[in-house]
Amino acid sequence: MKKNKERLISLLASSKNAYISGENLSEELQVTRTSIWKYIKELKEEGYEIEAIRKKGYMLKQIPLHLSESVLKWDLKTAFIGQNIIYRPVLSSTQDMAHELARSGCEAGTLVIADKQTSGRGRLNREWESNHSGGIWMSLVLRPEIAPNNAPQLTLLSAVAVSNAIEKLLAIDVQIKWPNDIFLHNKKLAGILTEMQAEVDKINYLVIGIGINVNQQIEVFGEELQSKVISLKELLDQEIDRKTFIHCILEEFELLYNDYLENGFKPIQKSWVDKAYKIGEEISLKTPKKNFKAIFEGIEHDGSLLVENSNGDIEKIYSAEIDW
């Protein structure tokens, strides 16, 4: 059923500005013309604009601007990232659903996406404001065959993928705040949360959550956040087609991910450093052992932060609260 509808969309989409007869469609899909008529009706209800003219056939005028599984899948040029998509208008948290799916054995590359999250979360269950539409809230399940110790590199990789997509699609230069926030004009544009289930020598699965402020007005955020966040719409004064943007991210991600599995972290490291927020500047760090100020020097080959402390020594930081 579902497969047929997807094939119908791609058939209609492949014949740009030309009509395809119901007869051709029913032959191609091996279903009756009544079924074609039913599918077309359903697609229209989902927001596709399809023109039907007697004796000529059907023509796809416009795919819907709102998201749906078929819209998201259509024309996605990846081998596996996002090929299994679960879309819901509202979810408590895409991250939680992705965890559930991963635990029950979903395939690698599965993507969960929602228009709104009623309890979106950041790290340590901090609230991630996303109970409004317009943003991109999605979680990706991966099962990489790498050592769990190397998994944090994928957080940095995700940040590079999102930044690359923004640069390619919108020609905006963004910065990455170590290890994983996307910054624009000193304000937060996107956040990435990576969670993992692993044993000492094996990753069971990884869930990469990506939240991006896209078409929201800043007013939808709570007062204390308004001075700290930015959305693409605010910046560009135009609506962004989220589907195209999501595709761009997924395609960019797959490219980097395959490169990483084959060639390691080095190429990613270089791209990351090129976009590093406040590199060479002084930052304040708070670790379980001490609080100190240091110069942000760069990142190590494993993705950890390199800082030069006041004694001139280079320290490697895996985990810290940082005051940027």
Partner 1 sequence: MLSIKEINELIEKIDQSSIDEFSYESNGDKVTLKKNTEVHYTPKESAPAHPNQEIVKTNSNQTAEINNEEAQEQVDTTTNSPTYDYEIVSPMVGTFYSSPSPDKPAYVNQGDKVSESTIVCIVEAMKLFNEIEAEINGEITEVLAENGELVEYGQPLFRVKKV
Candidates 30, 104, 125, 311; binder of partner 1 (CB under 8 A) is 125
Does 318 sit near partner 1 (CB under 8 A)? yes
| DSSP annotation of 265 | S
Asked if 123 is part of the footprint of partner 1 (rule: CB under 8 A), the reply reads yes
Q: Smallest distance, Å, CB 304 to partner 1?
A: 7
Residue 319 in the binding site for partner 1 (CB under 8 A): yes
Supply the DSSP symbol for 228. T
Could you list the residues known to form a binding site for biotin, using ranges: 117, 121-123, 188
Smallest gap from Cβ 74 to partner 1, in A, equals 32
CB of 185 to partner 1, least distance (A): 22
Q: Is residue 120 a contact point for partner 1 (CB under 8 A)? A: no
Residue 162 structure tokens: 């999102």
Q: Is residue 145 close enough to count as binding partner 1 by CB under 8 A? A: no
**Quick count: other Cβ atoms within 10 Å of Cβ 30?**
9
The token pair that represents 119 in the structure block: 């309890």
Q: What are the φ/ψ torsions at residue 76 (nearest 5 degrees)?
A: -80, 120
Inter-residue contact 120 to 129 (CB < 8 Å): yes
For partner 1, which stretch binds (CB under 8 A), given 20-28, 106-114, 121-129, 260-268?
121-129
Binding mask 181-220 for partner 1 (x = CB under 8 A): -----------xxxxxxxxxx-------------------
User: What minimum distance in Å lies between the beta carbon of 96 and partner 1?
Assistant: 12
Sole residue written with tokens 């895996």:
318
| 239 close to 232: Cβ distance less than 8 angstroms | no
The answer to whether 6 contacts partner 1 (rule: CB under 8 A) is no
Strands 136-142 and 321-323: unpaired
> In the bound complex, what is the minimum distance in angstroms from residue 57's beta carbon to partner 1?
52
Residues between 270 and 309 that touch partner 1 (CB under 8 A): 287-289, 303-305
| DSSP for 124-177, written as a single string | GG-B----SBTBEEEEEEE---S-GGGTHHHHHHHHHHHHHHHHHHH----EEE
Helices and strands, counts by H and E, the chain: 10, 14
Q: Does 124 bind partner 1 (CB under 8 A)?
A: yes
Closest contact distance (angstroms) between CB of 83 and partner 1 is: 24
| Cα–Cα separations (whole angstroms), residue 167 to 14, 33, 77, 107, 200 | 28, 45, 19, 29, 37
Interface with partner 1 (CB under 8 A), residue total 32
* Nearest to 72, CA basis, from 273, 193, 64, 194: 64
Single out the residue of 155, 163, 213, 269 in contact with partner 1 (rule: CB under 8 A).
Answer: 155
Binding site for partner 1 (CB under 8 A): 123-126, 148-149, 151-152, 154-156, 178-180, 192-201, 287-289, 303-305, 318-319
